[in-house]
């Protein structure tokens, strides 16, 4: 039976993790040359992971046993996880950990969750409505960041890019025609990023922006869906499909 791979995260010190459905979690400590499976007793589908060092990280997942969307934290490199937040209604789709105290999680129904105490408390700081579906989040600093996804205008879905310069107190959005999704945004600096997108024809795209998503260029088109990717440089990218690395 095949098992889907959901997210890949790699640190600059050769340590990385890959998470997926059915509690799949593997770790490398040598830049991907070898991968070590981590056995988890929980029945979770992981959707995203983010680590601030070799031991401390967060993940978003679907708890199949309790039918709930969860935010979980590890302090031992992924060997064990503790649930910090649970929601039966809202799907969590992406997260970004700035440091040990400050983490953002986004999801469907326009949700933008923020914690400034390491996950002990989570607050929804989003001003957006139920017809907005955020699928990616990235912060350049504690105050400057953006979230992306899609929104429904009553007739069709369009891409939304919302930016903040004050830690999420206010958001300024732009709507883009011709596309209905932007996922997995990964920045190299304050302006340059890779991301996945889907246009109105249903074509899956791999794109690059050099102006903080004010515009972008299509780098490639894919006939098979890519679950996730991690770009080490402009020339080297790790990608996950439904069953392959």
Instruction: Give residue 243's pLDDT.
Output: 47
Q: In which order are the strands placed within the sheet that holds 145-152?
A: 132-139, 145-152, 157-164, 172-176
In this predicted model, what pLDDT tens digit does every residue of 217-239 receive, in sequence order? Answer: 998 887 666 667 777 777 777 77
Q: What integer is the mean pLDDT of 1-23? A: 61
CB neighbourhood size of 180 (10 A): 21
Q: Return all residues near 37 (Cβ < 8 A) that are at least 6 apart.
A: 25, 26
**How much is the pTM?**
0.88
- β-strand partners of 114: 104, 123
Task: Kindly tell me if the per-residue pLDDT of 6 is higher than 60.
Answer: no
> What is the distance between the alpha carbons of residues 98 and 45, in angstroms, rounded to a whole number?
23
Instruction: Give residue 75's pLDDT.
Output: 96
Q: What integer is the mean pLDDT of 117-138? A: 94
**What integer best gives the mean pLDDT of the chain?**
87
Instruction: Give residue 241's pLDDT.
Output: 60
Q: Return all residues near 87 (Cβ < 8 A) that are at least 6 apart.
A: 68, 69, 70
In this predicted model, what pLDDT tens digit does every residue of 30-86 receive, in sequence order? Answer: 877 898 888 887 889 888 899 999 899 999 999 999 999 999 999 999 999 999 999
Q: What integer is the mean pLDDT of 146-156? A: 92
Contacts for 138-146 with beta carbons within 8 Å, 24 or more apart? 138/96, 138/185, 138/186, 138/187, 138/193, 139/96, 139/98, 139/104, 140/187, 140/190, 141/98, 142/98, 142/99, 142/102, 142/167, 143/167, 144/190, 145/96, 145/104, 146/185, 146/212, 146/213
- β-strand partners of 224: none
> What is the distance between the alpha carbons of residues 165 and 171, in angstroms, rounded to a whole number?
8
Task: Kindly tell me if the per-residue pLDDT of 98 is higher than 80.
Answer: yes
> What is the distance between the alpha carbons of residues 232 and 156, in angstroms, rounded to a whole number?
35
Query: 159: which 2 tokens?
Result: 């891409």
- β-strand partners of 231: 237
Task: Kindly tell me if the per-residue pLDDT of 245 is higher than 60.
Answer: no
């Amino acid at each position: 039976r095949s098992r889907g791979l959901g997210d890949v995260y790699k640190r600059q010190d050769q340590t990385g993790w890959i998470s997926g459905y059915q509690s799949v979690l593997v770790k490398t400590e040598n830049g991907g040359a070898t991968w070590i499976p981590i056995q988890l007793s929980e029945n979770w589908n992981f959707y995203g992971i983010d680590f601030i060092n070799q031991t401390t990280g967060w993940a978003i997942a679907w708890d199949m046993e309790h039918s709930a969307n969860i935010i979980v934290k590890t302090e031992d490199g992924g060997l064990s996880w503790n649930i910090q937040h649970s929601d039966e209604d809202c799907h969590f789709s992406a997260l970004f950990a700035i440091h040990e105290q400050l983490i953002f999680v986004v999801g469907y129904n326009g949700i933008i969750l923020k914690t400034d105490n390491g996950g002990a408390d989570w607050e929804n700081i989003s001003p957006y409505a139920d017809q907005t579906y955020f699928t990616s989040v990235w912060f350049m600093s504690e105050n400057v960041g953006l979230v992306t996804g899609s929104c429904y205008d009553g007739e069709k879905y369009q891409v939304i890019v919302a930016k903040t310069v004050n830690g999420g107190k206010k958001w300024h959005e732009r709507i883009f025609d011709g596309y209905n999704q932007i996922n997995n945004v990964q920045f190299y600096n304050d302006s340059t990023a890779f991301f996945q997108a889907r246009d109105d024809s249903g074509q899956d795209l791999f794109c690059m922006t050099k102006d903080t998503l004010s515009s972008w260029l299509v780098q490639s088109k894919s006939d098979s869906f890519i679950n996730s990717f991690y770009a080490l440089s402009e020339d080297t990218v790790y990608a996950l499909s439904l069953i392959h690395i």
